[in-house]
Amino acid sequence: MNVNKNYTALAKTSRLGCNLHSMAHVPQSLFGTDGIRGKFGTFPITGEFFEKIGRALGVCLQQKATNGKILIGIDTRASANLLKNALFRGIGRCFEIHDLGVLATPAIAFLTKQYGAVCGISITASHNPHTDNGIKIFDGEGHKLSAAREKQLENLIFREGDDTHSAAEQTTARSNSGEFLAAYARHWGGAFEKNCLKNLSIVFDAANGATAAYGGALLNQLGARVFAIGDAPSGTNINENFGTEHPQTLQRTVVKTGAHLGIALDGDGDRVILCDREGKIFAGEHLLALLAINFQRQRRLKSDAIVTTIVCNTAVDRALKKHGIHVHRCHVGDRNVAETMACTGCNLGGESSGHVICTDFSPAADGLFTAVAFIHAIADNWDFRISSMRDYFPLNPCETLDLPISSKPPIEELPELQKAIMDVENELARTGIGRVLVRYSGTENTLRILVEANTYGQARALVQHVANAVPAFAIGE
């Protein structure tokens, strides 16, 4: 029987028997699973609060190094410069600050490590609408701060009697964005053979975000014929009708132009989706599994294993087992993936949402790198059509539902919801196939319900059964 209630066992331990430190949750109120994020102009996304974040960050970093480099980049939101300047005021004169301008989050993470900076910062709300903004912080290795480090920073932000530097000590950031973009572009291009995309036509959708100015050019340098869309950011159109959140535009354009495939990134460039020449979207599980198989064939896959999260379709485990590849599971969030990869010695991991990390290339998920690596993985065998791999790698029937909520009471303290979950587990146990997963989003006020089952009809019915048991007081408007 393939029923698994919530992947708790898989999430807490690995095949190697080590305790996955990504599972240790430190109670937090400010940081979510991917930095700080929210609506611009309301707490905590205000200039005043970002100045406070800067002061606290300066104190944290001075405990480790003085006069070190800090790299700061933004996406294309109209609010980004105000928040960036507030952060500059807070950090003060104790560090050498480099303003990278508009640059994708993965590029900032890579450059932080490459240039020996003590910290890298991306001011972004990722795939959220332009009305939101946020901040992602990387340590000197290009990794997102651990939960413990975030808690330390949070305590400093909220402590009373702030005695850190004043606004009068503000430093002027060095604006040399061209140098840093060129360094990233050299590294990115060096990861692939020259003209490796020759004879391919690709629709590239930058979501009017951070990669709009250079993503298509990088693909073109590898020989691709590029049809660029979502490449005209206005400050208020990031992720609007383009990008990973709105793939319909990509799908229509691929079919209309007769391109071989399409690539869409999110607003800060760390997440990717691809569609085939027929406009059908590759599942995130396809990306991760076929990359793993290709890496294994090239003897590039370390530990004969990959890392993914508890929401990834369990068909991945089945498919990779045939190739001698083990799957480690962790909680949702690319930081958890990265930490689990470090624990298990893996160099490839990711989420079904399209965040994929290859540590041989960069410490952070890079959507553009993932896209080209995936093209290499499928070019020889699949003719850029999902239909050609359907029998080879079928996914388990799965349905998901996201419910907006106004509060997040502990799920285990909601008896009606617990009973509904048990009902679903019992139903799946009778068929011997499937699982149910109910969790809160770490970045949004959302309850996420996932059911894998024997058929799509069964999965839809069971998802609705769970949704009907969510208390009315918790459901948002």
* Residue 163: count of CB within 10 angstroms of its CB: 8
Cα separation, 345 vs 339, whole angstroms: 10
For residue 428, the one-letter residue type is L
Sign of dihedral through CA atoms 139, 145, 146, 152?
Answer: positive
DSSP codes, 71-95: EEEE-S-TTHHHHHHHHHHHHGGGS
Q: Supply the DSSP symbol for 288.
A: H
Which amino acid, one-letter code, is at 305? A
Tokens (6 digits) for 332: 């949702």
Per-residue pLDDT of the chain (477 residues; tens, 9 = 90+): 344 444 433 333 333 334 333 333 334 479 987 899 999 999 999 999 999 999 999 998 987 666 689 999 999 999 999 999 999 999 987 899 999 999 999 999 999 999 999 999 999 999 999 999 999 999 999 999 998 999 999 999 998 445 444 444 556 678 778 999 999 999 999 999 999 999 999 999 999 999 999 999 999 999 999 999 999 999 999 999 999 999 999 999 999 999 999 999 999 999 999 999 999 999 999 999 999 999 999 999 999 999 999 999 999 999 999 999 999 999 998 899 999 999 999 999 999 999 999 999 999 999 999 999 999 998 877 677 787 766 677 899 999 999 999 889 999 999 999 999 999 999 999 988 899 999 998 777 899 999 999 999 999 999 999 999 998 766 665
pLDDT for 387 = 76
Given a contact cutoff of 8 angstroms between Cβ atoms, the answer to whether 134 and 123 are in contact is: yes
Task: Report the alpha-carbon distance of residue 367 to residue 220 in Å, rounded.
Answer: 16
- Tokens 């979950």 locate to 421
- Structural contact between residues 23 and 339, judged by C-beta atoms closer than 8 angstroms: no
Cross-strand bridge partners of residue 306: 327
Q: What per-residue confidence (pLDDT) applies to 67? A: 66
Q: List, by residue number, the catalytic residues.
A: 126
Find out whether 153 and 145 touch, Cβ atoms under 8 Å. yes
Q: How many residues belong to the chain?
A: 477
ω into residue 363 within 30 of 0, thus cis?
A: no
Res 281: pLDDT? 94
Q: The sheet that has 326-330: what strands, in order across it?
A: 326-330, 305-309, 348-350, 356-358
Output the pTM of the full model.
0.88
Contact 350, 308 (CB under 8 A): yes
- Chain-centre distance of CA 406, in angstroms? 24
Interatomic CA distance for residues 124 and 105, integer angstroms: 8
Closest to 446 (Cα-Cα) out of 410, 411, 403, 398: 403
pLDDT of residue 142: 96
- CB neighbours (10 Å) of residue 422? 12
Q: Cβ of 129: how many Cβ atoms within 10 Å?
A: 15
- Structural domains of the chain sorted by starting position, each given as residue range(s) with its CATH number in brackets: 28-180 (3.40.120.10), 184-275 (3.40.120.10), 398-474 (3.30.310.50)
**In degrees to the nearest 10, what's the CA dihedral of 152, 128, 266, 381?**
100
Tokens of 99: 């303003």
Rounded CA separation 172/150 (Å): 26
State which H helix or E strand residue 440 sits in: strand 433-440
Instruction: Output the pLDDT for position 477.
Output: 53
Q: For the purposes of burial, counting CB atoms within 10 Å of the CB of 220, is it exposed (0-12), middle (13-18) or buried (19 or more)?
A: middle
Report the run of H or E that residue 317 belongs to, with start and end.
helix 315-321
- Residue carrying the six token digits 């930058």: 206
H helices of 115-258, in order, are 147-158, 177-190, 215-221, 248-257
Instruction: Strands of 256-315 (E only): list them.
Output: 261-265, 272-275, 305-309
Q: How many CA atoms lie within 13 A of 116 on its CB side?
A: 4
Convert 4-67 into a string of H (helix), E (strand) and C (coil). ECCCHHHHHECCCCCECHHHCCCCCCCCECCEEEEECCCCCCCHHHHHHHHHHHHHHHHCCCCC
- What is the torsion angle, in degrees rounded to the nearest 10, for the CA atoms of residue 353, residue 355, residue 358 and residue 362? 180
Task: Please give the angle made by the CA atoms of 281, 306 and 205, to the nearest 5 degrees.
Answer: 30
Contact 158, 172 (CB under 8 A): no
In the chain, the N- to C-terminal Cα span, in Å, equals: 39
Strand partners of residue 229: 205
17: Cα separation from own chain's centroid? 27
**Nearest alpha carbon to residue 168 among 66, 90, 67, 58:** 90
